[in-house]
Amino acid sequence: MEEFFQQLTNGLAVGGIYALIALGYTMVYGVLKLINFAHGDLFTIGAYLGLTLLVSMGLFDKIGPLPAVILLAVMVMILVAIIGAILERVAYRPLRQSPRLSAVVSALGASIFFQNAIMAIYSPKFLVYPHDILPKAAVTIFGLDIPVMRIIMFLTSLVLMAALYFFIQKTKIGTAIRAAAIDQGAAKLMGINVDRVIMLVFCIGPALGGAAGLMVGLYYGQINFSMGWMFGLKAFTAAILGGIGNIPGAMVGGLLLGVIEALGAAYISIAWKDAIAFCVLILILIVRPTGLLGERVAEKV
């Protein structure tokens, strides 16, 4: 039984990362009905920018670990948000009126561009965050040894997700985003600047992805240029699992996918871990084609 709970915490830790990245996919899909394939690479950029800023500014020595991490996170999120906005302006906005497939191809192209740009700038080697900048202690909760960092990481992703949820549900801008997601034409008629809403979505999603990249770099230490592909694929799956276009769905889907993987690995087979996760996804989609929390939306005619 102890192993079960240990595996549950393993799954939740990975699931928190999946959920953060999945939010980016789901927000863009919700507003534009576009799958932003470059999102996984924005996550990678977050991890690399975090490393560059960390090493070049030496923040940990100057202001201590906690303020350093917070400052680093803010800087990475702002930078990745800017890159996301540029991506939207350059790769997606010119194709707004084109068939949806053109935008998908543009997204794939942007993904390849980012991946190769990172490789060319930072080298194809594995890069490593400095060791011993974060506490390595573990706490014992109900007989389980859990590293403190993992708890902090999980809580951080929960806080970010909660903040996003309230932003979308409770603020005026959030309402505008939801309106644009439901019907862009009607939103325009109501005086909403849809272009600006889309730009904003392309800032928030990548910012969260960049934060996830920084967290992965800080906690797991090792980063390389192709890491976004694996995480992106999993996060995309999580978004579908929870119902793409639905923000709480992405959170639930991410956490659930992490837990399914961990438990599948623990009780069935490690080598079949991914296959098990995708079988569960297919079963859920057969029963609920719109995903766990996705609502059936009438097709626009």
Residue 299 is encoded by which pair of tokens? 């097709």
Encoded amino acid at 109, one letter? G
Please, what is the minimum distance in Å from the beta carbon of residue 176 to another protein? 36
Please, what is the minimum distance in Å from the beta carbon of residue 143 to another protein? 14
- C-beta of 216 vs 293, nearer to another protein: 216
- C-beta of 98 vs 269, nearer to another protein: 269
- C-beta of 30 vs 228, nearer to another protein: 228
List interacting residues with another protein (CB under 8 A).
3, 6-7, 10-11, 13-14, 124-126, 128, 131-132, 136, 138, 145, 147, 216, 220-222, 224, 226-227, 230-231, 261-262, 265-266, 269-271, 273-274
Helix (H) or strand (E) segment spanning residue 37: none
194, 14 contact by CB (below 8 A): no
- How far lies 67's CA from each of 59, 72, 213, in Å? 9, 8, 18
* HSE-up (13 A, CA, CB side) for residue 118: 29
Please, what is the minimum distance in Å from the beta carbon of residue 266 to another protein? 5
- How far lies 88's CA from each of 48, 83, 115, 180, 238, in Å? 21, 9, 17, 16, 23
- C-beta of 92 vs 225, nearer to another protein: 225
Please, what is the minimum distance in Å from the beta carbon of residue 267 to another protein? 9
Please, what is the minimum distance in Å from the beta carbon of residue 300 to another protein? 39
Rg (CA), the chain: 19
- C-beta of 53 vs 218, nearer to another protein: 218
- C-beta of 68 vs 262, nearer to another protein: 262
| Strand residues in 70-149 grouped as ranges (E) | 127-128, 138-141, 144-147
Please, what is the minimum distance in Å from the beta carbon of residue 252 to another protein? 20
Residue 216 is encoded by which pair of tokens? 């992965």
